[in-house]
Structure 1
């Protein structure tokens, strides 16, 4: 089955072609970072308009790269949620229109299921069951995964997600947009011994997370440096290092607790924040110590992309799932509401 994947949930337009027998054939991604940088964050209306401009040319270039014709498509997968409603509707409308014209099935994919299954695009795939840490700009979740569509939410963020905390920390330090990568880059030159930030909610039972207090601690630390006339670039780097280490340690402690709770020793880490070097190193060390396995998507598939949507959609299309023409985008959508696949 040859499936076109369309991702347009936020500020990146992703297109991919996935073959159920040959794997990923081609993919393309257009990022709107420059468009939104002027405003310091994503402007939903601008994001939607840019998706409209990019979708058709990207579909055409991806088909050309794979040396396939649009008439060869057997199905279309598109991100149906969660995300920005206008951005979601642009991808959904293009997907449904193409499917109608070509008389092929289309299926709406849960954006976070796409991230969760992104490591399946690699040659070495994790086997079910496993614990998944999903960390992105809008989500920080720990999930038990027993199969596609068989998800049990074990822990969630009570306020700011990890990626959101990274972005807000960057804004507090006036590092620019997008914030997360800038914090991580500056942290490389930071001194680990200068500041010790708290590890939120690790001293209480459970797997829920909270990063808003860590963001406040960062602000207070920077304001104190301003008062003491120590607001240098090195101080910023030291704060970024302390912040990044606190987030990485917190996520590692929560993952260890989830693995022990569920009696599993296989971990999948995905979402935009899974590209973070410190987090990867800490979780690799955790699983090496446990003699377990840890799986990450390649860096280009950590952030939003069409390949993960194409893969997830292919699995659901193969199981006979499809939607009728009365499609709807879903800005808020629980992973646990998804139907388990029965092949």
Structure 2
């Protein structure tokens, strides 16, 4: 096949969003997501319900992705899928479908690490053609991960620091739950924060060594703060919701930026890229842009559609692996735990 005419079908099913995309080289011709609303009633993702919803969504979603891209499945060069990390039941749906279609079409199969794909989303062809130059630092922030990653190449990545307990996305969502906000609450905290005074309330910054993070202590301090204030004034949360959200967001952003600044200082690399669902948070995006003028960093922030879980990011990782002949054996299993830097194997025969 002409190397300038590669079509990748990408499938993402790591958690509660079923996603499919068609890439023509680095450009996403389609990128659609089926969000599972059922979890809102439970205040969080229910793994069994998530896997069942993936089974219902995946076939029509792939058909829709092909229709939007206006290509036939026989034109596909390869199929890329999320192998992990994530919920095993959810991953099994996407993995099994990708393997079956790969066998049926007799085209290569490509496994993708979900977190590496978040980072590689910066290399999708978009209107903003700016891409990070190697080496650069990536801060991957999501509901399940908080990491600072040294990126030397497309598949040469090293985790420099990560959370020791809760991820930043969980800190946002659990704080929102304490405030009585529905799931997922992270975006709601961001929205209310725009209307409040971020300096009205103070929360502690965890003292964690190196480049690692911790958010469990912050969640506990927010819990005790709200319990104390509502005991004295039952209407406290409703009256001060905007300021509480703004203060929580300011604290979380400060935690992230302190570690990121430390990483830049220790590595001497001032090219920084955001990745992951929490990269959609306006406070974090603003802080990173301010770092350009204040500290002379070069920063890269993905478009909003490529921040949250999506299949285009799986597709770009698959495309880059396709060029390098990094194909996957049909016996490769899905895995709930899949560390960054472990998916760079060469061709499997």
Is the alpha carbon distance of 1:300 and 1:245 closer, same or farther for their aligned partners in structure 2, counting shifts above 3 Å?
same
Q: Map 1:152-301 to 2 at 5 A.
A: 152-201=158-207, 205-229=209-233, 230-301=235-306
Task: Give the match's secondary structure for 2:43.
Answer: coil
Partners in 1 of 2:24 and 2:44 — Cα distance?
35
1:248: Cα distance to partner?
0.4
Question: Which whole-Å CA distance do the structure 1 matches of 2:219 and 2:9 have between them?
Answer: 40
Range with greater deviation from structure 2 (116-125 or 246-255): 116-125
CA contact under 8 A between 2:226 and 2:237: conserved in structure 1? no
**SS of the residue 1:45 aligns to:** helix
Gaps of 5+ in 2: 1-5
1:47 to 39, 42, 50: 50
C-alpha distance in 2 between matches for 1:240 and 1:192: 8
Contact persistence 2:326–2:344 (CA under 8 A): no
CA RMSD of aligned residues (A): 1.4
CA distance in 2, matches of 1:271, 1:239: 24
Matched, 1:61 2:67: no
| Distance (Å, rounded) in 2 between the aligned partners of 1:259 and 1:326 | 40
Indicate if the aligned counterparts of 1:106 and 1:322 stay in contact, CA closer than 8 A. yes
Whether contact under 8 Å (2:179, 2:237) holds in the other structure is: no
Please say if 1:315 is aligned against 2:320: yes
State the Cα distance separating 1:174 from its structure 2 match: 1.2
Query: Scaled by the length of structure 1, what TM-score is found?
Result: 0.95
Task: Give the whole-Å Cα distance in 2 for the aligned partners of 1:113 and 1:15.
Answer: 17
TM, length-normalised to structure 2: 0.94
2:325–2:346 Cα contact (<8 Å) kept: no
Partner of 1:5: helix, strand, or coil?
Answer: strand
- In 1, Cα distance between equivalents of 2:35 and 2:51: 13
User: Does the aligned pair in 2 maintain the 1:150–1:340 contact within 8 Å?
Assistant: no
| Structure 2 Cα separation of the partners of residues 45 and 23 of structure 1 | 34
Where do 1:52-91 residues align within 5 Å? 52-91=55-94
> Distance in 1 between the 2:346 and 2:246 partners?
42
For residue 343 of structure 2, what is the aligned residue in structure 1?
338
Q: Which residue of 1 aligns with 2:35?
A: 31
**Aligned match for 1:116, one of 114, 119, 125:** 119
- In structure 1, runs of 5+ residues without a counterpart are none
Runs of 4+ in 1 over 4 A off after TM superposition: none
SS at match of 1:336: coil
